[in-house]
Amino acid sequence: MSFHRWKCSYLPFLLLMITCYSFYTRIQERANLCMSLHDVRPQLPGKTCMRLKKTILHTSLKMLKMDTFIQNVVAIQRCPFTENPKYLEQLRTELRKCCNASDQLIVTQNNTRIDDILNYETQQKKTIKVDKKIHQMLPNAMPFPRKPLKKCAVVGNGGILLNSCCGSEIDRADYVFRFNLPPMNQTYDVGTKLDLVTANPSILYKRFSALNEKRKPFADMMKVYGSALILMPAFSFVGNTDISFKVLYTVEDFGLDPKVVFFNPEYLKNLAVHWKMKGLNVRRLSSGLMLISTALELCEKVSLYGFWPFSQDLQGNRIPHHYYDNIIPNAKMHSMPDEFFFYAQMHSQGALRLNLGKCF
């Protein structure tokens, strides 16, 4: 066999071996990095932790001094998290009474009949009639178990996740919520598991031409989400309806595993009223707060990852807004720091665990 023929025969095999070795090397380097980043800071004394919790809980949003608040939140990460099942049950009862995610989070055939009129969440004068075609798009019932889920992880997309090594901890949750079709290529930090993920229509316009042209790139991307629920705000704005339906049709046409479902606008309106009564005055709740509220109602234990709306990490190092880019959200639409204030308070009261550090 000539050298040229030998090279042609074995070149693909050699390239495969080089690729595998490079991949293994990157994985090993990432594992070593996680070990080297081990947080050895000592825990704070019990009395200090109690003082920090009281300070955070007795702070009002109107009188909030953000720099001092951030310092307290960073410090309380060095305190052991103490669950408070009674307070969580109180929150769960309030959320069930106002909003009832277990029956109303998603528009289903059980909670919506043919010829029903849906009012859009943000455009009260705009309505849509649920005809037979739309009704057939809907799942028969809510896709959640009737009993509370055990451990839930709600994974935001914050840059605080970079080098967190939280992937394996996230993947041990029984149910994982994610947001805005995030890339899943930082597995050591963000994990691989997901059961429900939101899809912001703006992403579909920017990256996939609103599915008006070739749809295969979108279909290929969707494969990474396995059999997850893709939750879309089809009835939040009139402009979201058509693109949400296109996503559902594309998933079905390509025989993909994810299931596309739609937020119930009545649930979102009721939830906005609930948080406004708590003191949160924003134009619209973020999808993060929407699903954290859902998790508090549906889950026995809730842990948050990747929720940190600030430009520096706990050590003062600059970080991107997201773990995959530095695009800042529309401040006129959402107020992430104000929402984070409530996460910190719920962490201090033991209703949920706000993880901002490293996971080992």
Q: Please choose, from the candidates 288, 207, 292, 219, the residue with its C-alpha nearest in 3D space to the C-alpha of residue 257.
A: 219
Q: What is the pLDDT of residues 165-191, one digit of tens each?
A: 999 999 999 999 999 999 998 999 999
Three-class SS of 67-120:
HHHHHHHHHHCCCCCCCCHHHHHHHHHHHHHHCCHHHHCECCCCCCCCCCEEEC
pTM: 0.89
Q: What is the pLDDT of residues 292-349, one digit of tens each?
A: 999 999 999 999 999 999 999 999 999 999 999 998 877 667 789 999 999 999 999 9
Cβ atoms within 10 Å of 312's Cβ, excluding its own? 14
Q: Please choose, from the candidates 37, 126, 130, 88, the residue with its C-alpha nearest in 3D space to the C-alpha of residue 292.
A: 88
At 138 the pLDDT is 98
* Confidence check: pLDDT of 158 > 70: yes
Confidence of residue 42 (pLDDT cuts 50, 70, 90): confident
Q: Give, in words, the CATH class of 51-355.
A: alpha beta
What are the residue numbers of the active site? Answer: 334
Q: Please choose, from the candidates 359, 348, 351, the residue with its C-alpha nearest in 3D space to the C-alpha of residue 80.
A: 348
* Confidence check: pLDDT of 24 > 50: no
The percentage of the chain sitting over the pLDDT mark of 70, rounded to a whole number, equals: 88
- Report the DSSP pairing between strands 175-178 and 149-155: parallel
CA distance 92 to 351: 10
Q: What is the pLDDT of residues 96-153, one digit of tens each?
A: 999 999 999 999 999 999 999 999 999 889 999 999 999 999 999 999 887 889 999 9
At 283 the pLDDT is 86
Distance, CA of 253 to chain centre? 26
Domain residue ranges in the chain: 1-36, 51-355
At 63 the pLDDT is 84
